[in-house]
Structure 1
Amino acid sequence: MTAAIKRIKRFFFPESLRYQLLSRSLFIIAALLLLIGLFQYFLMHQFLFRSKAQTLQNQILAIPGEAWLFSSNMPRREGPGQGPGPGRGLFIPETQIAFIDPQFNLTEVSQPADSGSIPRLPEQTYSEALQQKKMIQQVVKDEAGQEQLVVLQSVGSRGKTVGVVQVGTPTKPLIDVLISQLLTFLLLAVLALVAGLLGFLPVLKRTLVPLSNIVSTVRQIDAGNLTERLPTKQGQTEIDRLSVSFNGMLERIESSFEAEKEAKEQMRRFIADASHELRTPLTSIHGFLEVLLRGAVHQPEQLHKALTSMYSESERINKLVQDLLLLARLDRTPTFEKTPGDLGDVVKEMETQLKLLAGERKVSFSIAEDAYCVFDPDKMKQVILNLFHNAVQHTDAAKGHIHISLDHWEGGIRLTVKDNGPGIAQEHLTYLFDRFYRIDTSRARKYGGAGLGLSITKSIVDLHEGTIEVESAEGAGCAFRVWLPELRAIE
């Protein structure tokens, strides 16, 4: 039973888009044809009955009123259908004719042999017919239960109304004509639906070809083949828009997959670099401990050297861990305590500290007035220290020159840290802000660096909605520029 219901449901509510469109189109056409058929039936009904009534009216008016009056006064000696009424030859044989005088007396003028008595209408209807010259038409049932079209028409003699002629005729011939017309229309409608079905199927199939192309293309797309794209110019606006939207989704998915692959690769490199950075100081500490265990602990000079080296290596590990923790916090997009202020005041406050870090290197400043922006003072100090420390590492201890400038630039405040060091080759500039990236590994380790300072700097600048860039060439020094939105631009 359930299977039968499902089959019936699939027949009337198909799941295929093609058959849904076909069935719904045919249903709409069939409904329209049904409405047209009903409308035609009622129009034909009114037309036929009205035409028949007018024909009977014309036949009544074709006979003089004196003849109708004379006929009503003649005694009827014949049986049904035999009366000598006027105009018997003008009416069809099935017609019933009666004359009603002003006193509402009904006289049968003509009556078919196989019909019942002439139906008598209410006196009010006869009164209305006597008072007006217009025809009155009604459909009533006689004693035999058959419908008749009854026409009432007043007649007169010498300008005076003498009575009303009632003519009735069976409606069955008219109904037969209507049914014949309706059956003909239904037959033509069925033929039209069949022809439409046969003609619409191939047209619908061709119309859905672009959709079939999309389905076949989508089936070929998987995680390893995201470069496939749907055709976007197939001559159908809706399908083309669907293809464009789907292609956009594929591009976003492809970008997400590429980003995920890149993130996994970066994580792999990060773990490898972090392991390498931790392994070096740990190996050094382990080696010194072995030396101490062999007896160096009783030799003050070697003991001091070992402890000093282990302390230095532990500081490297501590700094590396602190930097990694800071990067982890920055990756979680922390909320900085950003406040409006003059960045120039921060640079001036750090001037003594920076000169101490520079040692014998020359340090110069160029600070613009009113360098107002929104920033976290502690984090911006860290940015300046990181960039300055990087410049110190890459300039000569005696001949080095580091210049720090602060100016207004393109709707923001630009901080520049420039040195006269050996510069950086172009192939390294793209990777400078990557984690654990170092141009000179031995030199970076000498100063305790792990290649995280510039990564931290960039993360802080990004969280301030700013930008950082580097300009350098081999032998021409290096300049790091940080841009932050100016306070007036933010407001």
Structure 2
Amino acid sequence: MNSKKSEFFGSLRIQLLSRSLLILALLLMLIGLFQYVLMKEFVYRNKAASIQSQLLSVPRFDWPQLPGIPEDGRVRPPLFFIPEVNLAFVDLEGNFYVLSRGPGDTSPPRLDTGEYLSILGKRPDLRYKVVYDSAGTEQLLVLQPVMARNGKVIGITQAGTLTGPLKELLVRQLLVFLVLSLAAMFFGLLGFLPVIRRTLAPLSNMIDTAGQIDAGNLAKRFPTQQGQVEIDRLAESFNGMLDRLEASFKAERETKEQMRRFIADASHELRTPLTSIHGFLEVLLRGAASQPDQLQKALKSMHSESERLTRLVHDLLLLAKLDRTPQVELAEGLLSTMILDMEPQLRILAGNRELSLQIEPGVVCRYDVNKMKQVILNLFHNAVQHTDPEGGCIRLSLSRVDGGVRLSVQDNGPGIGEEYLPHIFDRFYRIDVSRARKYGGSGLGLAITKAIVDIHGGVISVESKPGEGCTFHIWLPV
């Protein structure tokens, strides 16, 4: 029960609705308070102006008779009468005379003499104030200077009326405003519900989408064109995060698959020479060791397999080092000079194949000498393996390009099919297994080459078509 209650009051829709209604109620309360203050001032001032106009309607020749009022404060018969208003007169000496009483025999309240006298020297504007009489009843007093026929001020007339009827009018106005406010709150509630539901529709869509993603539909994405900038930005951020997560999951799966294939391929490559050596040893143990011809042949085969095994282990260790934290000594140097210095070695490897060097002089970049030599030898050895010993042609070129240098190794071998090109730099990947093993290849040469190029900040690519040879391009930054 408590969880349902907390879920209900914790709902964003309920919170927005309640806070909107609370703000509306506060605004209506402030408007009501402001209206009450203005209405009170308006009603009191309007009543005071009405009484003043009645006082000003008395002819001036009647006022001089007022000083004849008995000094004992007794009420003389009024010269005029204003309904629900008590009247008093204050002369220039501060004497207070009651002219008439209000309803319920209400007596006029008397102010300080100094307050009366201070009014005599001021302009005859509308002056009124709210006071309490001796009985504790609130009255509205209007003070009006009185002038004789000759224009001289002879005193002050004080007119007072009870504020009860005025307050009743204000209360009725407040009740009307309260009823209208409650009606506004009710209709506001009816209007807010569909508006909030429509406003929160994009958020509800995101919640539904998140539920589908949580259920396992990782390909689902949040809608991003819902007409609300903030929600759309949030959806785009979530979609970007999901894309990165999906890419990381995919990369992790691919890494695991590559690791599985790598272990399987490495085990297979290691098992082949070990099996061969083991087989020759068994032959020798069965008596072949006593026959010099068979012994020599077996020893040569085991030596060849051990060399192949040594190269394989060396390549695996080199790849492990390159994958871990490769230590390279990058130094600025003439790459063109280094390649020209390797020309004798390359011609020996090429044999009877035609070798063409197109080296632009003075090409400078930052590189590790030993590792860059290994890159060139790997690519050159790969070209030698896949070209005819007699009619083969290998071209090695070096030139400057925008932002770097480009090294290319081209051959006229059988080429590579387009379907094989994306995997050409994978470890243990060989298109022609029998041909690669014939020359002692393990499928790691191009993988090592790519790893070395990567640590130099370069890029390696391949262009090839069946029957048109193969060209490897290496771009290195200057």
> Would the TM-score normalized by the shorter structure come out above 0.5?
yes
Contact persistence 1:444–1:450 (CA under 8 A): yes
* Cross-structure match for 2:307: 315
- Is 59-68 or 102-111 further displaced after alignment? 59-68
* Structure 2 unaligned residues grouped into runs of 5+: none
User: Partner amino acid for 2:97?
Assistant: T
1:165 aligns with 2:160: no
Contact persistence 2:73–2:96 (CA under 8 A): no
* Cross-structure match for 2:12: 17
Mark the CA change 1:455 to 1:7 in structure 2 (over 3 Å): closer, same or farther: closer
Within 1, Cα distance between the matches of 2:206 and 2:286?
A: 76
Picking from 455, 466, 470, the partner of 1:463 is 455
* Cross-structure match for 2:113: 123
Q: What's the CA shift string for 1:226-280, capped at 9, x where partnerless? A: 2333444444444444444433333333333332322222222212111111110
* Cross-structure match for 2:143: 152
Within 2, Cα distance between the matches of 1:53 and 1:474?
A: 111
Within 1, Cα distance between the matches of 2:325 and 2:71?
A: 116
Picking from 236, 240, 245, the partner of 1:248 is 240
Superposed counterparts of 1:40-189, under 5 Å:
40-75=35-70, 83-88=76-81, 91-93=82-84, 95-112=85-102, 114-115=104-105, 117-132=107-122, 133-157=124-148, 158-189=150-181
Within 2, Cα distance between the matches of 1:293 and 1:177?
A: 127
**For 2:399, what is the secondary structure of its paired residue?**
strand
Within 1, Cα distance between the matches of 2:205 and 2:466?
A: 56
Mark the CA change 1:122 to 1:370 in structure 2 (over 3 Å): closer, same or farther: farther
Within 1, Cα distance between the matches of 2:267 and 2:293?
A: 32
User: Partner amino acid for 1:331?
Assistant: D
State the Cα distance separating 1:48 from its structure 2 match.
Answer: 0.8
Contact persistence 2:91–2:156 (CA under 8 A): yes
* Cross-structure match for 2:465: 473
**For 1:336, what is the secondary structure of its paired residue?**
coil
User: Partner amino acid for 1:84?
Assistant: P
User: Partner amino acid for 1:144?
Assistant: A
Within 2, Cα distance between the matches of 1:423 and 1:23?
A: 74
State the Cα distance separating 1:383 from its structure 2 match.
Answer: 0.9
State the Cα distance separating 1:222 from its structure 2 match.
Answer: 4.7
* Cross-structure match for 1:371: 363
User: Partner amino acid for 1:96?
Assistant: N
Picking from 421, 428, 431, the partner of 2:420 is 428
1:400 aligns with 2:358: no
User: Partner amino acid for 1:470?
Assistant: V
Within 2, Cα distance between the matches of 1:247 and 1:326?
A: 40
Superposed counterparts of 1:212-223, under 5 Å:
212-222=204-214
User: Partner amino acid for 2:130?
Assistant: V
Contact persistence 2:102–2:161 (CA under 8 A): no
**For 1:221, what is the secondary structure of its paired residue?**
helix
Mark the CA change 1:66 to 1:389 in structure 2 (over 3 Å): closer, same or farther: same
Within 2, Cα distance between the matches of 1:373 and 1:113?
A: 113
Q: What's the CA shift string for 1:321-376, capped at 9, x where partnerless? A: 22222223333463532222221122122222222322333323111022122222
* Cross-structure match for 2:349: 357
- Is 63-72 or 263-272 further displaced after alignment? 63-72
State the Cα distance separating 1:143 from its structure 2 match.
Answer: 1.0
* Cross-structure match for 2:409: 417
Contact persistence 2:69–2:76 (CA under 8 A): no
Contact persistence 1:84–1:109 (CA under 8 A): yes
- Is 220-229 or 48-57 further displaced after alignment? 220-229
Superposed counterparts of 1:268-279, under 5 Å:
268-279=260-271
- Is 223-232 or 165-174 further displaced after alignment? 223-232
1:29 aligns with 2:21: no
Structure 2 length as normaliser, TM-score? 0.91
Structure 1 length as normaliser, TM-score? 0.89
Superposed counterparts of 1:329-340, under 5 Å:
329-332=321-324, 334=326, 336-340=328-332
User: Partner amino acid for 2:83?
Assistant: I
Within 2, Cα distance between the matches of 1:413 and 1:203?
A: 64
1:387 aligns with 2:379: yes
- Is 231-240 or 336-345 further displaced after alignment? 231-240
State the Cα distance separating 1:154 from its structure 2 match.
Answer: 0.9
User: Partner amino acid for 1:31?
Assistant: L
User: Partner amino acid for 1:136?
Assistant: R
Within 2, Cα distance between the matches of 1:320 and 1:437?
A: 14
Contact persistence 1:77–1:83 (CA under 8 A): no
* Cross-structure match for 1:284: 276
Contact persistence 1:71–1:84 (CA under 8 A): no
Q: What's the CA shift string for 1:383-413, capped at 9, x where partnerless? A: 1111011112112333333221111234321
**For 1:63, what is the secondary structure of its paired residue?**
coil
State the Cα distance separating 1:178 from its structure 2 match.
Answer: 1.1
- Is 424-433 or 39-48 further displaced after alignment? 424-433
Identity of aligned residues (%): 57
Within 2, Cα distance between the matches of 1:224 and 1:141?
A: 79
Within 1, Cα distance between the matches of 2:409 and 2:175?
A: 97
Within 2, Cα distance between the matches of 1:232 and 1:288?
A: 68
State the Cα distance separating 1:298 from its structure 2 match.
Answer: 4.7
Within 2, Cα distance between the matches of 1:324 and 1:342?
A: 30
Mark the CA change 1:334 to 1:44 in structure 2 (over 3 Å): closer, same or farther: farther
**For 1:434, what is the secondary structure of its paired residue?**
coil
User: Partner amino acid for 2:56?
Assistant: L
Within 1, Cα distance between the matches of 2:7 and 2:80?
A: 66
Q: Number of paired residues?
A: 476
Mark the CA change 1:7 to 1:483 in structure 2 (over 3 Å): closer, same or farther: closer
**For 1:167, what is the secondary structure of its paired residue?**
strand
Within 2, Cα distance between the matches of 1:10 and 1:277?
A: 62
User: Partner amino acid for 2:311?
Assistant: K
Within 2, Cα distance between the matches of 1:459 and 1:78?
A: 120
- Pairwise CA RMSD of aligned residues? 2.6
